[in-house]
Amino acid sequence: MKYALVTGGSRGIGRAVCVKLACMGYYVIVNCVNNLPEALKTLELVRRAGQDGEIMMFDVSNGEQVRKTIEEWQDAHPGCYIEVLVNNAGIRRDNILALMPQEDWNQVLDITLKGFYNVTQLLLPSMMRRKYGRIVNMASVSGLSGIQGQTNYSAAKGGLIAATKALAKEVACKNITVNAVAPGFIKTDMVEGLDEEALRKTIPANRFGTPEEVAEVVGFLVSNVAGYITGDVISICGGLYT
Ligand code: NAP
């Protein structure tokens, strides 16, 4: 059995990634923080794709919760290890910095950066022992270019990209790849409330992307043929950021 964990797998991009990984033969561990009904729908899609999986609830930004949950899983599955980790959980709390409450700054950075640390740090030792692992971090074009009204989100995703590059160098000799994908506007709950008609005029491809288009790239990075790609960032943005 090959195990994969997708944080924020209950909805949007994370859900599409779970289904893609199931199609690739993985047993998929679907993480979410609140939305159990949506996580159950993802699990159903994983099963329809012909694989099994389970739900693992934790808040990625809560180190104690993450440790307890993952250690319990590891104790219950001796001899098994999670070889694919997709750090996908994320939120946005947009505002100009001059008006941004501290809580919105902290929450966005905590979920993205502490979340990356909390989960990755726990799963790395077993990947290193087995000399195989695939880590994909869900960044954003906001972390590459910086977007006004998203200083917190740009900082978080830019930090995640830098962490991707640093960790890739640390673990490349253990046959573990660490990459990031940087979506532009993707049709999920996260972009609800945005003016799609106006925004798509700023996108060379003239449309928002789909979660499945992002999941295809994650699937490629996770696959065996991508073993020589590490520390890289792949944009999926219809030409928005080049
Ligand atoms: P979404 O539809 O809003 O889904 C967010 C997911 O993250 C949900 O599964 C949610 O779980 C989970 N989550 C939120 N906070 C969490 C926490 N503290 N611990 C664990 N899970 C948590 O968002 P999405 O558009 O699919 O975004 C997925 C990733 O892609 C994010 O990192 C986002 O920043 C990035 N991204 C998205 C876009 C876009 O245009 N959509 C563009 C660039 C990058 P619950 O269901 O339990 O709430």
Q: What is the pLDDT of residues 154-184, one digit of tens each?
A: 999 999 999 999 999 999 999 999 999 999 9
Ligand 1 mean position, distance from CA 133 (Å): 23
Return the closest-CA partner of residue 63 out of 4, 124, 117, 27. 117
Region at 86 (left for phi over 0; alpha for psi -120 to 50; beta for the rest): beta
Q: pLDDT value at position 41?
A: 98
Ligand 1: residue of 66, 114, 188 to mutate (most ligand atoms within 8 A of CB) is: 188
The answer to whether 154 and 90 have CB atoms below 8 angstroms apart is no
The answer to whether 119 and 60 have CB atoms below 8 angstroms apart is yes
Q: Is 8 exposed, middle or buried (0-12, 13-18, 19+ CB in 10 A)?
A: buried
Which of the four pLDDT bands, split at 50, 70 and 90, describes residue 152? Answer: very high
Ligand 1 mean position, distance from CA 54 (Å): 19
Return the closest-CA partner of residue 31 out of 111, 89, 117, 94. 89
Q: Residue 242: pLDDT above 80?
A: no
Q: If you take atom 9 of ligand 1, which residue's CA is the nearest one?
A: 8
Ligand 1 mean position, distance from CA 63 (Å): 18
Q: If you take atom 11 of ligand 1, which residue's CA is the nearest one?
A: 32
Domains of the chain: 2-236 (3.40.50.720)
What is the set of active-site residues? 153
CA distance 234 to 242: 11
**How many angstroms from the chain centroid is the CA of residue 43?**
17
Q: pLDDT value at position 6?
A: 99
Which of the four pLDDT bands, split at 50, 70 and 90, describes residue 122? Answer: very high
* Average pLDDT over the chain, rounded to an integer: 98
Q: pLDDT value at position 39?
A: 98
**How many angstroms from the chain centroid is the CA of residue 186?**
14
| Ligand 1, CB within 6 Å, residue ranges | 7-8, 10-14, 31-35, 38, 59-61, 88-91, 111, 138, 140, 183, 185-186, 188-191
Q: Count other Cβ atoms within 10 Å, centred on residue 18.
A: 32
Q: pLDDT value at position 202?
A: 96
Ligand 1 mean position, distance from CA 182 (Å): 13
Ligand 1: residue of 41, 61, 88, 236 to mutate (most ligand atoms within 8 A of CB) is: 88
pTM of the model: 0.99
**Residues in the chain, overall count:** 242
Which of the four pLDDT bands, split at 50, 70 and 90, describes residue 241? Answer: confident
Which of the four pLDDT bands, split at 50, 70 and 90, describes residue 210? Answer: very high
Q: Residue 9: pLDDT above 80?
A: yes
